[in-house]
Amino acid sequence: MPKPSDHPAPIAATKAHTVSHHGHTLHDPYAWLRDPGYPAVTDEDILGYLHAENAYYQAALAPHEKLTESLYEEIVGRIQQDDSSVPHKHGNYLYHWEFESGAQYKRWLRTDLDGKSSCLLLDEVALAEGLDYFRLGGFSVRDDHEILAWSSDTDGSERYTIRLKEIVSGRLLPDEITGTGGSVVWSMDGQSFFYSVLSEEHRPYKIMLHQLGQPASADTCVYEEKDPSFFAGVSRTSSDRFIVISAGDHVTNELRIIPADEVTAPPQLISARRTGHEYYLDDNGVRFLIRTNDMHRNFRIVAASFDAPEATHWRGLIPPSDHHYLKHHTCFQDFFTVEERAFGQEQIRIRHYAKPEHEAIEHYIEFPEPSFSAALGTNAEFDSAVVRVGYQSMVTPPSVMDYHLEGHRLELRKEQAIPSGYDKSAYVSERLIASSHDGTKVPISIVYKKGFARDGSQPLHLYGYGAYGIGMVPSFSASRLSLLDRGFAYAIAHIRGGDEMGYHWYQEGKLDKRTNTFHDFIACAEHLIAEGYSSAGKISISGGSAGGTLMGAMANMRPDLWSAVVAHVPFVDVLHTMLDASLPLTPIEWPEWGNPLTDKEVFEYILSYSPYENTREQHYPNLMVTCGLNDPRVTYWEPAKWVAKLRTHIQGEGLIIFKTNMGAGHGGKSGRFEKFREVAEEYSFILEAVGKA
């Protein structure tokens, strides 16, 4: 890609900085880009460098401004301007949200069941007025439907402020709590609620109880987590009978319960933390149902009485399976649901309660396509014979369905509208299988427009993540049509590190097996090339956060394959971050990446792949990198250091552009349309890189 002829790329200063561990000395000449006052960033040299990179980013994209604007108009043209959600019943009301035409933010409303009267609950448009950033966090209506509690973040730091209002009068209550995790969990009598508090290191470590009308300074600490590698959270069971306090990291947790009508009772521990043991609890009004991996990594479901919920009293309901990975369970009054993966496909199981248990009746919801994504939607009613489900595929837009247990019938309530027009019969979706370096079969989901030539001449975009057991589903994207309609195929590599094929898929892509993720991604690209979907140098790739680690590794390991690499908020300084226990997420991340502070082998393994450490003098593909100044998850200096180092090591004509959102965090800009400007910039960059602009 051509570089701006009249705007030289910024070159960051280097300053000697070394750290030594396990006999290794790390030279980090760009360590100065971390402001010592973080989360405040006030150093003029640092800000000057970030602003210079932003200016270069704009200069590089300026010649493609018409294309970017055209893409933006295309993408926005596929958005229903006056969109609204399907109302869901909660008590004697129907709740929903809506976008007014042209609005960036939602309005939340409710109506009586007869539809004769409606009430505005919350107006995000008004709350966001005059702000560069606004994101709604918690949204919780008290059980009597008279008071709303909500939280918001106005700078992207993910520190939420909780506020309350009377719904009918609209009067704001004086209660205001800052520095929270965002969620609000009401007591049964509605005179108090629970919330989490963030530490200075941005860790949710305390669960507090707030009494309405009292100052936050008078709030009671119900639970404090002492281990900095465990985060605390709070929720309520489906029957509303119990408050659940959780503490855990990525692979271990423990739960405590408090009766929702007796909030001052001491929390009762269910099962003490044991490394590698995860369990999750819900109740059906009569007993607890617990999903646990105590006997199998794919989990089983057990039952326990309210009087004796400890593990010694657990009784099996659904046994573990090598092929069925049980991901979530939700209790209703007469049945419960299990969201699971079987042979790589998402499924929803319905199981009725019965006595004795071996007579219980169960079945799976049947969906209309062979490859799809399905998950429970908003189900506020405990006593219900209808389950709200979200559904989509790579060719079917996101849809809301109601599953009626009587008759096992799916009712389509809404399919995302594409106002500019969309004919899903014009597109083809497939599931392919690649063979990785160790023989492991890796699934690929791919979509393209009919008539796509499989002769290696066409461009292809490949997406990947591969971390934390978060599987990438074959989902729909209206924005993606702008690539498909320009001759692209779009593929998702279901690489190890996610959980697409079960919990073992996650285990095989973490810790000392992290590099399997990278080899899987390369294998997917090579398989797509071998099958004629594209060719080396015609493939663009993207990933964000931990998927940014993948992008950095791909740029280092196989730069010959890619025309463009897009890395959003990329976790690329893995080694230095995992060596710094003062950072918000480092201790909780050690079960995912390993602890290089205490383990030499872990140190050397991370050193072998960390993108920042492995940047070297070579030809690199075109790179687009983004970050948020207020991001508490991947701190801004990680991508800043990486880009600074890349600029002094890149050979050839590859273009590197880097943008810092100065008033945002991990999720980028807020607002319904603003995020699509960034998508348009990304697509413009990709199209130029593959010669399709």
Domain count, the chain: 3
Give yes or no: residues 490 and 547 share one domain.
yes
Among 254, 273, 292, the domain boundary falls at 273
Give yes or no: residues 441 and 588 share one domain.
yes
CA distance readout (Å), 42 to 39, 90, 154, 409: 10, 47, 19, 59
Task: Confirm whether 98 is domain-assigned.
Answer: no
Task: Name the token pair of 583.
Answer: 């950072």
- At residue 585, the pLDDT reads 82
Residue 354 near residue 336 (C-beta atoms within 8 A): no
Alpha carbon distance 661, 12 (integer Å): 19
Task: Confirm whether 222 is domain-assigned.
Answer: yes
**Is-cis flag, bond preceding 267, omega within 30?**
no
Task: Confirm whether 167 is domain-assigned.
Answer: yes
Give yes or no: residues 510 and 651 share one domain.
yes
Among 400, 416, 432, the domain boundary falls at 416
Task: Confirm whether 87 is domain-assigned.
Answer: no
Residue 140 near residue 147 (C-beta atoms within 8 A): no
For residue 100, with 0-12 CB atoms within 10 Å meaning exposed, 13-18 middle and 19 or more buried, which class applies? middle
CA angle 232, 236, 241 (to 5 degrees): 135
Alpha carbon distance 676, 493 (integer Å): 23
Give yes or no: residues 234 and 293 share one domain.
no
Question: The domain spanning residue 315 has which CATH number?
Answer: 2.130.10.120
Give yes or no: residues 539 and 617 share one domain.
yes
For residue 127, with 0-12 CB atoms within 10 Å meaning exposed, 13-18 middle and 19 or more buried, which class applies? middle
Give yes or no: residues 381 and 432 share one domain.
no
> pTM higher than 0.85, yes or no?
yes
Amino acid identity for residue 385 in this structure: A
DSSP string across 528-548: HHHTTS--TTSEEEEEETHHH
Among 240, 172, 241, 175, CA closest to 209: 175
Give yes or no: residues 541 and 498 share one domain.
yes
Task: Confirm whether 480 is domain-assigned.
Answer: yes
Task: Name the token pair of 658.
Answer: 């880097």
Give yes or no: residues 146 and 248 share one domain.
yes
> Which string of b and e fits 417-441 if b means at least 16 CB within 10 Å?
ebeeebeeeebbbbebebebeeebe
Give yes or no: residues 177 and 299 share one domain.
no
**Averaged in consecutive runs of 10 residues, what is the pLDDT profile of the chain (693 residues)?**
87 96 97 94 97 97 96 95 95 95 94 88 96 95 97 94 96 96 96 96 95 96 96 97 97 97 96 97 97 97 96 96 96 97 93 69 93 96 97 97 96 96 97 97 97 97 97 96 98 97 96 98 98 98 97 98 97 97 89 97 98 97 96 93 97 95 78 89 96 80
Give yes or no: residues 553 and 650 share one domain.
yes
Facing residues of 627 across strands?
660
Residue 366 near residue 339 (C-beta atoms within 8 A): no
Among 243, 273, 303, the domain boundary falls at 273
User: In this structure, what are the phi and psi dihedrals at residue 197, rounded to the nearest 5 degrees?
Assistant: -115, 140
What residues are annotated to the active site?
Answer: 545, 631, 666
Rg (CA), the chain: 25
Give yes or no: residues 582 and 454 share one domain.
yes
- Residue range of the domain that includes 653: 20-76+421-689
Alpha carbon distance 243, 237 (integer Å): 7
Question: The domain spanning residue 433 has which CATH number?
Answer: 3.40.50.1820
- At residue 1, the pLDDT reads 76
Other beta carbons less than 10 A from residue 221's beta carbon:
10
Q: Using one digit for the tens of pLDDT, what is the confidence trace for 314-364?
A: 999 999 999 999 999 999 999 999 999 998 899 999 999 975 555 568 999
Which stretches of 343-404 are assigned E, i.e. beta strand? 345-352, 362-364, 373-376, 386-392, 399-404
Give yes or no: residues 306 and 375 share one domain.
yes
Expressed in percent and rounded to 5, the helix, strand and coil fractions of the chain are: 20, 35, 45
Task: Confirm whether 101 is domain-assigned.
Answer: no
- At residue 356, the pLDDT reads 55
Task: Confirm whether 286 is domain-assigned.
Answer: yes
Task: Confirm whether 104 is domain-assigned.
Answer: no
